[in-house]
Structure 1
């Protein structure tokens, strides 16, 4: 009898060991691919001055976000900082900090939202969402590495947006330095509770502006299970669009999850799309919840993964991750190895690479915790 029990236990140990080895090998393989994506970005999407380009190809044609070719964005810089923090790579973060202070940042705290390939700005506006992401990165880096410069620059940027990116004590999308005009609209996906809380705790943001801005996010109504696009402060109304952009929706859901607010309707929608259709498309018709485009975006999957991790829905996160990887070039012999959504013409948008890179690293770190 005991011989049979010992044999059974031996089999169990062998099976469990095999499973653990399998998991280790999978994780090791994903770490390799993740590093390949970082190398891909550095090789193909980095300008000579160290700024990160929006596209691989040079172009004079503006995209729907009014960006072209090798132009560099403050959005990209903030995402790169987030990745450096998740990777715990102090040198990578320091390099990004030097790009910020050398090219993007003015002495008074104004950050140009885009630069040309040479690092020169041709715009007079900032972007609240990008500034908040950079502030959060700087303050998180200060806590991690205790570099006083990070905190000081975060304070200067915070003071600028708390002074100029405000309408009726609510933070708004942008400030135009040339015309001295502040937007009266706040895009909901721009409201990230994490940097706002950090700014408020350090008294970089006054209580009224902090609470009013947070309330816009928390009080947002749902229509057909979707969030509003924006809030118009002077009209004091939420604005919905007929076509729902999933980047915006995923970001709002992610930011609310940081406050432990999770919409069951939104989760159900994403889960049903993955379960029944196997994909999440880029845009949907609000009332019917039917896709209005055929394309998918690795960035959408990346943000949905971040949302799933934040809401402790790891089953959904891993399903989304499996779909996201379809868009990654895993051919080690290919020039674009590690790159996401590289077209036949050899081009891709950096947002579709940086967000998946960050989400992948976040997911891998969660596996190890």
Structure 2
């Protein structure tokens, strides 16, 4: 059996153990090659900016410009996110930079490891590592490890990826109930699961070969598909509350909404209605940054990250035409001013406001 789940007692808490999968990871390596000559030139400039303006030995800055005062709610300035490190690992493995991948993963653990989970946020100024993880960020790093083994034809990280997944099973994916985060100091998890966090392809790899695992995956897929808002506005609810079996009616962050669509597309469950809606948005260049559950715009403006996520969805579907349309929208928002310190990056040339998430999402989409 690939995954053997058994209960062991550690103090008063039952711990679940997950055995290392015998089967090699598959389906994690990008198989399309849709990038045009122009796109290849643009991504070289984008990667150069990220290395120049965001990348450090410890991780990647959240913003190009630092902030004097930090905020509790969100990372700013030169704070670092495990999200960004996971995305950089994805880039390194896609571009087959094996030694750099191994080194950066070692550093990612040194920067973010917190009781077997990856802290979602680190401040190099104060050396503060936050006590909570973000389940999607852990899964993204685990996925990068699996991608490395598939692409490099090794078993180098399979055991470590399994251990990391096991840590999630005992904190944020207990009994298959995927939730957003676990506080390692309070030793308590939230009971809400953002639908964007359900990385079905990665979950399925660990859950597919045992009865208990398959049951967990089936429930996760049911929960995700159950968040569908309807054919009029064919996106999905923001989150699911496991204790009440209720979906949130809160406004949607478009990046999270598109992550949900991408995860569904990767396992063959993206609805045709969702695909058509996304085609309309990228074609009309009106993919807004936020929506109500009824489909009205709640946050205006557009983001390169959202167009990049759309491109990744189209690449997953084998839709080269609309992949190109989406990527053209990404490059439309790239800074092309040789005199600018953020030349090649995704951001505002005037204010020098740059977000790591937009740049890294665009970079990875450019390699589909």
String of CA shifts for 1:179-214, please: whole Å, max 9, x gaps. Answer: 1111111100000112112222587x9444333223
Residue aligned with 1:67, SS: coil
- For the 8 Å contact 2:208–2:217, the answer to whether it is kept is no
1:101 aligns with 2:109: yes
Q: Is the counterpart of residue 253 in structure 1 residue 266 in structure 2?
A: no
For the 8 Å contact 1:228–1:240, the answer to whether it is kept is yes
Q: How does 1:272-351 map to 2 (within 5 A)?
A: 272-275=280-283, 277-287=284-294, 289-351=295-357
1:338 match: secondary structure: coil
Aligned residues: CA RMSD:
2.4
1:229 correspondence with 2:250: no
Q: In the alignment, what sits opposite 1:187?
A: 194
- Which of structures 1 and 2 has the bigger CA Rg? 1
Give, in angstroms, the shift of residue 168 of structure 1.
5.1
Question: Retained in 2: the 8 A contact 1:109–1:159?
Answer: no
Summarize deviations over 1:299-346 as a string: whole Å, max 9, x none. Answer: 111111111111222222211111111110233454322100234222
Structure 1 pair 305–63 and aligned structure 2 pair: CA distance change class (3 A) = farther
Match of 1:7 in 2: none
Give the whole-Å Cα distance in 1 for the aligned partners of 2:281 and 2:178. 34
Structure 1's 113 and 227: CA in aligned 2 closer, same or farther, altered over 3 A? Answer: same
> Aligned partners of 1:225 and 1:28: how far apart in 2?
34
For residues 241 and 274 of structure 2, the distance between their equivalents in structure 1, rounded to whole angstroms, comes to 23
**Structure 1 residue 105: deviation in Å?**
1.9
- Measure, in 1, the Cα distance between the counterparts of 2:254 and 2:242: 23
User: 1:166–1:182: 8 Å Cα contact kept in structure 2?
Assistant: no
Residue 272 (structure 2) aligned to one of 260, 264, 269: 264
Aligned pair count? 331
2:89 is the counterpart of 1:81 = yes
User: What SS does the aligned partner of 1:273 have?
Assistant: helix
Aligned partner of residue 286 in structure 1, secondary structure: coil
Contact 2:112/2:129, CA 8 A, preserved across alignment: no
Q: Distance in 1 between matches of 2:53 and 2:303?
A: 19
Single out whichever of 142-151 and 245-254 deviates more from structure 2: 142-151
For structure 1, which runs of at least 5 residues remain unmatched after alignment? 1-25, 363-369
2:59 paired residue number: 51
Taking structure 2 as the reference length, the TM-score comes to 0.82
Q: Deviations over 1:107-143 (max 9, x none)?
A: x522111111259343111110000111111112123
Q: Please report how far the alpha carbon of residue 61 of structure 1 lies from its aligned counterpart in structure 2 after TM superposition.
A: 4.4
> Does 2:199 correspond to 1:196?
no
Greater mean alpha carbon deviation, residues 304-313 or residues 116-125: 116-125
Specify which structure has the higher proportion of strand.
2
Structure 1 residues 286 and 236, CA gap change in structure 2 (3 angstroms):
closer
C-alpha distance in 1, partners of 2:262/2:113? 28
Gap change, CA 1:300 and 1:274, over 3 Å in 2: closer
Q: Which runs of 4+ in 1 moved over 6 A?
A: none
The structure with the greater share of residues assigned to helix is 1
